[in-house]
Amino acid sequence: MDKNIRICIVGGGPAGLSAGMYLEKKGYTNYTILERSDRVGGKCWSPHYNGKRYEMGAIMGVPSYYAVHDVEEFCGITHDGPKLNRNYKDAKGNVIEPFEPKKNPLKIPRLLKMKKQVKKFGELLETKYKGYDLNGHRGVAEGRYEGYAVTPGREKVEGYNSNLKDLALPFKEFCEMNGVELVQDIWIGPYTSFGYGYFDEIPAAYVLKYLDFQTTMNFVKVNLWTWEQGTQYIWEQLNEHIAHPARLNSEITRVERRDGKVYVTVNGVVEEYDKIIVTAPLYVADGNMGNNNGMVDYFDARDDEKELFSKIDYERYTVQAITTTPENHPEISYYVFDNMVPEKLGHLMVYYRRWKENIDQVITTYALRTHKRMKEIPYDKCNEMVLEDLKTMHNPAKEVINKWSVYYFPHVSCEDYAAGWYDKVEAMQGKYDTYYAGEVMSFGDMDETAEYSRELVERFF
């Protein structure tokens, strides 16, 4: 492709900024990133409180975040944040140690069985499900894998493995089918409480591409990365280091693609490009969630785009930032496993204390409001439920200082996954001089989205 082509990138979150960086690394000098809001980072939002930054969005990474590491190297920064640590509470607010056999003599047989199953699962993933952990979902529904190895060198790999079709099953069914149902006890912590839905409804592919075996073990060992200035800082730094920083406050009202050109109306002015990469939401089910709309609403969307993107669902993940009095400040972050089941929808699943030494800091709380077979919990009601839960946890809030319910983890259903949704969308890449990136194309975390952008540039530019 001609290195001088004019490329428009919609969205200045991890996916859009990484697309800019990788294009630049490959010699493309003529890209423009249009960001609707007044800051970069998207769901990496790290506001200030008392001179420190807390996290309203992304918090952590793992050592296999190779794309995020590319960004760190590009900018000369590192993951220098506070060490993460956590304990567990039951729904009544008692501190528990669910994985400690000595504290749970009655549970010893289950814990031993679980340990065995985790080992077996690791082996199954390497053998029966070879190729399961590649970024993106190309070929999975057809029993193929195609992409780049999850290694620093990201070697190209591809092959056939018909077992991969099983990844379209709900994760719960997938585990039961493989005789490893107890591994859900481990995977649920960094999955459901992080807002990615429940195991009886979400295709195993999403769970395992994010929580591949190594990543899950890093969570178990708390071998995790954070950033002192927050995850937003990563993307602020990237924005400062790329040749063409994102143009903030860019309101796109129309995109028309005709005669091999892309016409983008930004803040009332029509701009001409050759290609467009969309990292912003492709479709938002209820039209306007927290000021989000989908590309199908402002693009001259074609029938295939409308048809496929209308299948995208998302989670309503709700975060509150609270303060407490010193005596009510939690000693550490807590997971509440009892609340990670659909029956406890809307309840507090995890709360995060960021700084070990500091007691005048913000605590952030996390709850989910949707499950595919249940009625959605309204936003205000969910916030109230979480504040009540904090009282039960013996850490009542003094004041709520921030909150949002975010358009989270766009994904498709097990049925659409099995019917080859991803291969249909991948076949459309470039068709209308348009490329689709961002969360739905891979998974809703910083690294999967940045890595997808890397591979998109590698594959098509």
Ligand X SMILES: Cc1cc2nc3c(=O)[nH]c(=O)nc-3n(C[C@H](O)[C@H](O)[C@H](O)COP(=O)(O)OP(=O)(O)OC[C@H]3O[C@@H](n4cnc5c(N)ncnc54)[C@H](O)[C@@H]3O)c2cc1C
Residues contributing to the site for ligand X (CB under 6 A): 10-16, 34-37, 42-44, 57-61, 194, 250, 252, 279-280, 317, 319, 406, 408, 438-439, 444-447, 449
Nearer to ligand X, 167 or 367 (CB): 367
Sign of CA dihedral 77, 82, 88, 90: negative
Nearer Cβ to ligand X, position 42 or 203? 42
Neighbours of 144 (CB within 10 A): 17
Q: 40 or 204, CB closer to ligand X?
A: 40
Q: How far apart are CA 193 and CA 81, in angstroms?
A: 21
According to DSSP, residue 73 is labeled H
Considering the complex, what minimum distance in angstroms separates the CB of residue 41 from ligand X? 6
Exposure on the CB side of residue 201, measured as CA atoms within 13 A: 17
User: Whole-angstrom Cα distance, residue 252 to residue 36?
Assistant: 8
The residue among 443 and 461 lying less far from ligand X, judged by its C-beta, is 443
Compute the least distance from the CB of residue 189 to ligand X, in Å: 12
Q: Which is nearer to ligand X, 389 or 447 (CB)?
A: 447
Nearer residue to ligand X within complex by CB, 18 or 178: 18
Shortest separation between residue 117's beta carbon and ligand X, angstroms: 26
- Pick 44 or 182: Cβ nearer ligand X: 44
Per DSSP (E only), the strands in 128-284 are: 144-148, 156-160, 252-258, 261-266, 269-273, 275-278
> Minimal distance in Å, beta carbon 46 to ligand X?
11
How far, in Å, CA of 115 to CA of 80, rounded? 32
Nearest distance, CB of residue 47 and ligand X, angstroms: 13
CB of 36 to ligand X, least distance (A): 4
Long-range contacts of 170-175 (CB under 8 A, 24+ apart): 170/199, 170/200, 170/201, 170/202, 170/203, 170/204, 170/414, 171/199, 171/202, 171/203, 171/204, 171/207, 171/208, 172/199, 172/200, 173/200, 174/204, 175/121, 175/199, 175/204
The residue (of 112 and 270) whose beta carbon lies closer to ligand X is 270
Nearest-approach distance from CB 255 to ligand X, in angstroms:
9
What kind and span of H or E run contains 352?
strand 350-353
Q: How far is CA 64 from CA 67, 68, 223, 373, 386, in A?
A: 9, 9, 11, 34, 33
**Least distance in Å: CB of 208 to ligand X?**
16
434 or 449, CB closer to ligand X?
449
CB of 308 to ligand X, least distance (A): 18
- Dihedral sign computed on CA atoms, order 424, 429, 431, 435: positive
Biggest CA–CA distance in the chain, Å, is 71
